[in-house]
Chain A
Amino acid sequence: MYEKDGERYFIVDGHIHFWDGTPANQANRYGTGFINCFYDYHRNLSPEHATWDLAHFQRQSEADILHDLFEVGHVDKAIFQPTYLTDFFVNGFNTTEQDGVLAEKHPDRFIVNGAFDPRDGEAGLAALERLAERWRLKGVKLYTAEWKGDSKGWLLSDPWSYRYLEKCQELGISNIHVHKGPTIYPLNRDAFDVADVDDAASAFPELNFIVEHVGLPRLEDFCWIATQEPNVYGGLAVAMPFIHTRPRYFARIIGELLYWLDDTRITFASDYAIWTPKWLVEAFVDFQIPEDLQGEYGTLTPDIKRRILGLNAARLYDIEVPAGLGPATPEPLGPPTVAAERNEAVQR
């Protein structure tokens, strides 16, 4: 919980990891390249006081996570999103089982999500059943750019993907987190294209599709899909830290999301350990759309911030929100007044 200027915020960090990127676990140059790429993200967008050395970035201890998220990070509940990458890392980068160890020790703090890979065929369907039973999964994180031998990735619209999504529905796994980058597949097309999410979201209206990184670097494709599919959500991992280095760009991303999606389908995430939640939460609560952009995008109210920081994810995961931490005004019935009408005025 975070409190500022008399407003209280319930915080759900919707995308965190407990990874092992140490040299000993790097299977090849791809694993090395992967963690170094993340480290550049971290160094490029973190404020100096929240920038780590490479060794610390490669691996965090249990104590580090508890400290960074809950002791100082204002987070009430955090959701583990696994990224297996078993072709790049000897023991995997961040598996359900690794995350689950912490989740079992601190059940009031963590939710652990699973994963599936449609290229695993029938055997993978059975494995998903076991995984769901073992960890009582409510969500899966899908990494479509995962390499597997000669295959460099897959699409949500693949026939086998639909078999797995049907299985998710059957198992009560309702939250499908889709991660599109850094990604390279299909090699000869735009690998960041989120059109396959559109197909799957139409085909499975009862599942929620949370597009991580709000589709960046294809914000426009994501927004377009989200306007048509009410079950598509935007996760702010990777978008959040722009609040520090590029606040105007951040303002415009948030403004665009509010314009196309409204404030009930956007969820906060630090992408820990790429970034840490403390400074992100504090900066977001302090944040306002710059005055000269308010004509186009409106302003961020405490309720909008409350929904983004925790209430939206709490709804997706049935997380109980303590009394007094809900919105000051109930959920809006229609789209919020933030941007749409005013923007049309600019364009007329």
Chain B
Amino acid sequence: MTAGAGPPVPITAVWQALATVRDPELDEPITDLGFVASVDLDRTGAVTAELRLPTYFCAPNFAFLMVADAHDALRALPGVAAARVRLIDHFAAAEITSGVAAGGGFGAAFPETAADGRDGLDDLRRTFWRKAHAACQELLAFGLLTAGSDHAELVRLRLGDLAGRVDRAGLDRLRRRRADLGLPDGDGAPLLLGDDGTPLTAAELPIRLRIARTTRLSIEGNADWCRGLLRTRYPERSTGTAG
């Protein structure tokens, strides 16, 4: 690229940065979900992104996390001089957009949340990381059981044993969830861990896998429902545009 001929950062890099932002509840990139309504990049490297959601009343805490994460991802991109992320068509759009721009966190944007002394969203995010992690594990375990494995083997398996036995993308996903939670994610790490990092035992495995299976259905079903509502709400600009 010739200096001065265009923006100091390619638009594809901007989309890639936005693709690192996941919906905390649905555990999928906001770009895949169709939540990025528009991206504007000017010659000075100023980026403006608009985010849209499936409903007017989508939970403001999740919305705040996505807008804030998108803002951080854009700011961290070399060549981006300024980043602005606007939430549109949402009951709390103004509070969230200006709250993220001001950088004061969720508690500053919604002062009433400070009433219980927990104005951050870290706990919320971790709750959904844990759900995503349990669902990820279960998906791999289910595949292994279907292929003939049993519970006794599952509790012995380590991540390093899984090459060629499970879907690679599923395994990568599990490692990322582990990293998010600060849980062991190396080859020596057990396949099945509790939320606190304790290896699951054969005795508790059936019930843990069963509830994780329901959790996975819930996450997958919600993602599908959100996609459907987004298509209904914005029929002219359909989903899944990763730029």
Contact = CB atoms under 8 A, between A and B. Distances in A.
A40 B56 CA distance: 10
B150 A220 contact: no
Interface size class of A (residues with CB under 8 A): 35 or more
Interface in A18-39: 29-30, 33-34, 36-37
Contacts of A29: 91
A249 B110 CA distance: 36
Contact of A190 (B60, B127, B220, B225): B127
Contact of A187 (B56, B60, B123, B218): B60
A219 B218 contact: yes
A252 B91 contact: no
Interface string A38-58: 001101110000000000000
- Chain A: interface secondary structure? helix
Interface stretch (A103-111, A123-131, A202-210, A340-348): A340-348
Given A346-B145, A347-B209, A184 B214 contact: no
Interface in B98-138: 106-107, 110, 112-113, 116, 118-121, 123-124, 127-128, 131
A37 B60 contact: no
B218 A190 contact: no
Interface stretch (B157-165, B167-175, B228-236): B228-236
B121 A188 contact: yes
Interface in B161-192: none
A189 B222 contact: no
Given A37-B56, A43-B232, A348-B150, A187 B113 contact: yes
Given A44-B229, A44-B232, A187 B110 contact: yes
B239 interface: no
Interface in A128-157: 150, 152
Interface in B1-48: 25
Contact of B228 (A182, A219, A245, A346): A245
A343 B120 CA distance: 40
Interface string B212-232: 001101101110110011011
Contacts of A218: 218
Interface size class of B (residues with CB under 8 A): 35 or more
B61 interface: yes
B57 A184 contact: yes
A344 B210 CA distance: 9
Contacts of B75: none
A40 B91 contact: no
B241 interface: no
Nearest to A36: B56
Contact of B217 (A36, A191, A192, A253): A253
Nearest to B218: A219
Contact of A217 (B121, B124, B222): B222
A188 B61 contact: yes
A150 B110 CA distance: 11
A220 B209 contact: no
Contacts of B229: 40-41, 44
A37 B110 CA distance: 23
15 contacts: A34-B57, A36-B56, A184-B61, A187-B61, A187-B113, A188-B107, A188-B118, A188-B123, A217-B225, A245-B228, A246-B224, A253-B221, A344-B206, A347-B151, A348-B151
Given A217-B222, A348-B151, 19 more contacts: A34-B57, A43-B232, A44-B228, A44-B232, A183-B59, A184-B57, A187-B106, A187-B113, A188-B107, A190-B59, A220-B214, A220-B215, A224-B214, A242-B221, A245-B228, A252-B217, A253-B217, A253-B221, A343-B210
Interface of A: 29-30, 33-34, 36-37, 40-41, 43-45, 150, 152, 182-184, 186-192, 216-220, 223-224, 242, 245-246, 249, 252-253, 256, 259-260, 343-344, 346-348
Q: Which 10 pairs from chain A and chain B are nearest by CB?
A: A33-B56, A188-B113, A220-B214, A44-B232, A182-B57, A220-B215, A219-B218, A217-B222, A187-B113, A40-B232
